[in-house]
């Protein structure tokens, strides 16, 4: 990827954590669904960290729409819902991981490290 920043779409609650892991290598995009999709598609986003509950939709649809537009980010879902059906829906939508809130920050930090590693190699 060289000197180009990775483009991350993050829930506002994790922006600080993402910034600490990836340092100057990231550009964080807005968390609102419609604006986020537009920005994500324009800059070819690599990593999506999304709550499943969004003000104007849900994270599953956000990722499905991204994929329909040709964007296949490393995706991590966060949700207060963690039934087998919820996790299965996240997997079906294309999320690589489904974190159930409340979760340990170290768990998200580990997954973000995997995303950074995969997206930079």
Establish if 68 belongs to a structural domain: yes
Query: pTM score, two decimals?
Result: 0.75
The Cα 30–Cα 5 span in angstroms is: 16
Tokens of 54: 């969004």
Domain count, the chain: 1
Q: Which domain holds residue 98?
A: 6-119
Establish if 29 belongs to a structural domain: yes
CATH of the domain at 73: 3.40.50.2300
Establish if 1 belongs to a structural domain: no
Count how many residues are written for the chain: 121
Say if CB 66 and CB 37 are below 8 A apart.
yes
- Residue range 21-69, pLDDT digits in tens: 554 445 555 556 666 666 666 666 678 888 888 777 788 988 888 888 7
């Amino acid at each position: 990827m060289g000197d180009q920043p990775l483009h991350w779409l993050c829930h506002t609650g994790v922006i600080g954590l993402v910034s600490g892991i990836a340092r100057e290598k990231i550009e964080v995009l807005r968390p609102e669904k419609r604006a986020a999709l537009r920005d994500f598609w324009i800059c070819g986003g690599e990593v999506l960290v999304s709550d499943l509950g969004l003000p104007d939709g849900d994270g599953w649809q956000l990722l499905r729409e991204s994929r329909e537009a040709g964007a296949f980010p490393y995706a991590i879902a966060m949700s207060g819902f963690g039934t087998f059906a919820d996790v299965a829906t996240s997997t079906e939508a294309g999320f690589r991981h489904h974190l159930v809130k409340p979760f340990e920050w170290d768990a998200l930090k580990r997954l973000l490290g995997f995303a950074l590693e995969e997206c930079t190699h």
